[in-house]
């Protein structure tokens, strides 16, 4: 997953601007939360896969040892922008595809 120039800190945004594409701030929040959950799950799977290589069957709580590569991988993921910031950036740049479910009345 490519991380563009997404800030790693929180930015104050105008709620009206965020609500413009959907016409409803609550719909926007739902879209952003679902996308942030997708991003978080993908990052968790990626991190788990990378850390799986360092797992040892005979490791116990008392036998845990430090591995520099493992620490660097963990630090890399800690420095990445949070999933909600990535989702907001994608939404603002028009990179998210979303659709509304049809209601029975239509």
pLDDT given at position 1: 46
Verdict on whether the full-model pTM lies above 0.85: no
Check whether 63 has a pLDDT greater than 80: no
Q: How far apart are the C-alpha atoms of 11 and 105, rounded to whole Å?
A: 39
Could you tell me if residue 31 is inside a domain? yes
Could you tell me if residue 21 is inside a domain? yes
Could you tell me if residue 40 is inside a domain? yes
Range(s) of the domain holding residue 49:
15-55+66-92
Could you tell me if residue 74 is inside a domain? yes
Among residues 50, 35, 23, the alpha carbon closest in space to that of 96 is found at: 35
pLDDT given at position 56: 63
Among residues 11, 1, 7, the alpha carbon closest in space to that of 95 is found at: 1
Q: What is the mean pLDDT of the chain?
A: 82
Could you tell me if residue 37 is inside a domain? yes
Check whether 74 has a pLDDT greater than 60: yes
Total structural domains in the chain? 1
Least confident of 11-20, 24-33, 96-105: 96-105
């Amino acid at each position: 997953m490519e991380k563009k120039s997404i800030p790693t800190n929180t930015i104050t945004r105008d709620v009206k601007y965020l609500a413009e594409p959907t016409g409803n701030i609550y719909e926007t929040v739902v879209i952003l939360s679902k996308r942030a959950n997708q991003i978080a799950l993908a990052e968790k799977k990626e991190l788990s896969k990378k850390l799986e290589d360092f797992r040892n069957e005979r490791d116990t709580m008392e036998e845990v040892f430090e591995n520099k590569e493992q620490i660097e991988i963990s630090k890399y993921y800690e420095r990445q922008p949070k999933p909600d910031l990535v989702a907001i950036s994608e939404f603002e740049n028009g990179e998210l595809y979303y659709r509304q479910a049809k209601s029975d009345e239509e």
